[in-house]
Amino acid sequence: MDTRLKAIQTEAQERTAPNGERYTSLSLAAVHKGAREQSCSCKDVELTALQHAIIPERYQRSLGTTGGADGQVRLLQSRAAVIGLGGLGGLVAELLARMGVGTLVLADSDNFNVSNLNRQVLATEENLGESKAGVAAKRLQQVNAAVTVEPFQGYVDADNAVELLRGCQVVVDCLDNLKSRYLLQSTCRELDIPLVHGAIAQFVGQVSTIFPGDPGLEAIYGPLEEGKDKGIEVELGNPAATPALVAAWQVQEAIKILLDTGTPLRNRLLFLDTEAGTCDIFQL
């Protein structure tokens, strides 16, 4: 018997799920113990456990969404990118880590400043001045040590975008300007990667999932025009709650893509207006 599997089986315990069903569980302490004793990563331990129907306890409440252990294995073996780590991206990155997406590429060129404190979940009074990518990487390792985090502090541009995104199964657009968004979309089209777009302003937010070959951002914003770069959020502002709403939708879209389940918002735009209390979907 495989040494790692034998050690996992020794540590495994029978538990009862909230719905009354019995399952075999592996505690977080056992995951870390196995990684130390077997000289491997926490991800390796969790994958071995899941592949033998032993559920790392951190994922037990996710199984209804992932479709069981096989779906969780698929997430742990996935690679996703979050571009922009502000109001949207910080929460997107953390939620993907909590779901157990195995490798996360995180990119942002900025450092945290005081104006970020109202909405950016990774910003604290103690880390002002620190790089968003660095803070995100540290936070995600605290949230889920099984996730491999690849932080990039810098602008995503024509020189580095392809290399940065290569191998990803999904990219999440959490940017704040159209020029960068269009470049990201172009790169995703070149690499045949779905892109989950999100944007917010004041009480409103929007989400759309763009597959290679779809009209995409052009159907939402029209052709990219010189001098037309920032969105309406520059005038209306960025509150605390709206980014959280849109980030949650973006994460669900990304998870659906990674698991090949459900119906993505493809060629559709979800438009949330929390001031009016409405949620509409427009065909693109």
* In the chain, where the domains are located: 3-73, 78-283
Polymer length of the chain: 284
User: What's the whole-model pTM score?
Assistant: 0.96
State residue 1's pLDDT score. 53
State residue 233's pLDDT score. 62
Measured between alpha carbons, how far is 269 from 282 in angstroms, rounded to an integer?
5
Please report which residue ranges of the chain form alpha helices under DSSP H. Answer: 3-11, 28-38, 42-50, 63-66, 69-76, 89-99, 132-143, 161-165, 178-191, 217-221, 233-236, 241-259
Q: Quick one: 76 exposed, middle or buried, by C-beta within 10 A (0-12, 13-18, 19+)?
A: buried
Measured between alpha carbons, how far is 128 from 243 in angstroms, rounded to an integer?
20
Measured between alpha carbons, how far is 3 from 130 in angstroms, rounded to an integer?
42
Measured between alpha carbons, how far is 77 from 169 in angstroms, rounded to an integer?
10
218: left (phi over 0), alpha (psi -120 to 50) or beta: alpha
State residue 224's pLDDT score. 86
10-residue averages of pLDDT along the chain (284 residues): 90 96 97 96 98 98 96 98 98 98 98 96 97 98 98 97 98 96 98 98 96 96 76 71 97 98 98 97 96
Please check whether the domain covering 78-283 is classified as CATH 3.40.50.720.
yes
The three-point CA angle 244-249-253 to 5° equals 145
Measured between alpha carbons, how far is 103 from 167 in angstroms, rounded to an integer?
10
Rounded-to-10 torsion of CA 208, 212, 218, 221: 30
Measured between alpha carbons, how far is 284 from 278 in angstroms, rounded to an integer?
19
Question: 89, 172, 184, 197: which is closest to 137 by C-alpha?
Answer: 89
